Amino acid sequence: MLIFSLITFVVVLIFTIFTFVDLSKNQILREGSFYLILQIIFLIFSFIFLIVSSNLFMIILNPMLYKFLLIMSIISLIGSILTFVFYLINRPTPIRIPSPIPQPEIPPLKTEVLPHEMQKMAEIHMYFDNKLYKSYPITYHSYIIGREGDIKTPDEDNYVSRKQLQLNVDSINKIYYLYLLPSKNPVYINDKRFGFELKSPYILRDGDKIKIGNRVLLLFRKII
């Protein structure tokens, strides 16, 4: 019986580790947390049965408890296998940053001098499903980025907040400050989590890649 409990624990442990690593690698922990929680529950039951089955004294004193844990161990093994199968079938769509990013051509600056408030200082190129969706000129203003922002993302990506980011332009020093607005949806700048690995505000640099939602990527290009 000890061998069975050990095999059960090892199998459930492997499924749990694989699920966690796969979710973390593809940045879909939140979307696949249900499967991971189930695997952890099954792992706990199989571990308890492993401890009990290795204790002969406990088995003799409490045979009913042993039978109960044996049943739970079998259920854990079957449940872990079924959970793993359903996870593979219904695996959430991984969040991937397109690499390499096709570099759109930036039109040359016009020679005529525009009014101060109309001069284009930078551009944000928005990619949706790895295809160029729209380009937004950045002048001397403040911008909200989101599904209902000045820089509007496609409504098809529900993992973008209505107001996800705010871009403030320091026109004198030509510095671009990106602020993280209150939201449950993560934002990544050059593969680093904004608000955790990178603090808000973040000073944008030419070529920065900002990933929001599951399908939207922003490419920041500085002009002046």
70 and 124 belong to one structural domain: no
Please check whether residue 101 lies inside any domain of the structure: no
Please check whether residue 123 lies inside any domain of the structure: yes
Measured in whole angstroms, the distance separating CA 108 from the mean position of its chain's CA atoms is 36
Q: Residues of the chain with pLDDT > 70: what percent?
A: 78
129 and 218 belong to one structural domain: yes
213 and 130 belong to one structural domain: yes
When divided into structural domains, the chain yields a total of: 2
Comparing 77 with 149, which gets the higher pLDDT? 149
Residue 14, domain extent: 2-89
Please check whether residue 95 lies inside any domain of the structure: no
201 and 133 belong to one structural domain: yes
Please check whether residue 79 lies inside any domain of the structure: yes
66 and 152 belong to one structural domain: no
21 and 76 belong to one structural domain: yes
79 and 127 belong to one structural domain: no
pLDDT (0 to 100) of residue 113: 43
Please report where in the chains the tokens 């296998």 appear, as a residue. Answer: 81
pLDDT (0 to 100) of residue 3: 74
Please check whether residue 100 lies inside any domain of the structure: no
Comparing 112 with 73, which gets the higher pLDDT? 73
Lowest mean pLDDT of 68-72, 146-150, 212-216, name the range. 68-72
3-state secondary structure of 80: helix
Q: Residues of the chain with pLDDT > 90: what percent?
A: 30
121 and 53 belong to one structural domain: no
Comparing 201 with 22, which gets the higher pLDDT? 201
Mean pLDDT along residues 16-34 = 77
pLDDT above 60 for 80? yes
Please check whether residue 106 lies inside any domain of the structure: no
Residue 187 sits in a domain whose CATH number is: 2.60.200.20
pLDDT (0 to 100) of residue 76: 77
pLDDT (0 to 100) of residue 35: 81
> Shortest CA distance to 54 belongs to which of 35, 36, 39, 73?
73
Please report where in the chains the tokens 């602020």 appear, as a residue. Answer: 179
Lowest mean pLDDT of 36-40, 114-118, 208-212, name the range. 114-118
What whole-number distance in Å separates Cα of residue 125 and Cα of residue 137? 9
pLDDT above 50 for 116? no
pLDDT above 60 for 68? yes
121 and 216 belong to one structural domain: yes
pLDDT (0 to 100) of residue 223: 82
List strand residue ranges (DSSP E) for 6-77, in order. none
Please check whether residue 143 lies inside any domain of the structure: yes
Please check whether residue 41 lies inside any domain of the structure: yes
What whole-number distance in Å separates Cα of residue 204 and Cα of residue 168? 10
What whole-number distance in Å separates Cα of residue 34 and Cα of residue 43? 14
Lowest mean pLDDT of 67-71, 112-116, 142-146, name the range. 112-116
3-state secondary structure of 161: coil
**Predicted confidence (pLDDT) per residue in 154-209, tens digit:** 999 989 999 999 999 988 888 999 999 998 899 999 999 998 888 989 999 999 99
66 and 146 belong to one structural domain: no
pLDDT above 60 for 145? yes
- pTM reported for the whole predicted model: 0.48
135 and 66 belong to one structural domain: no
Mean pLDDT along residues 130-142 = 88
46 and 134 belong to one structural domain: no
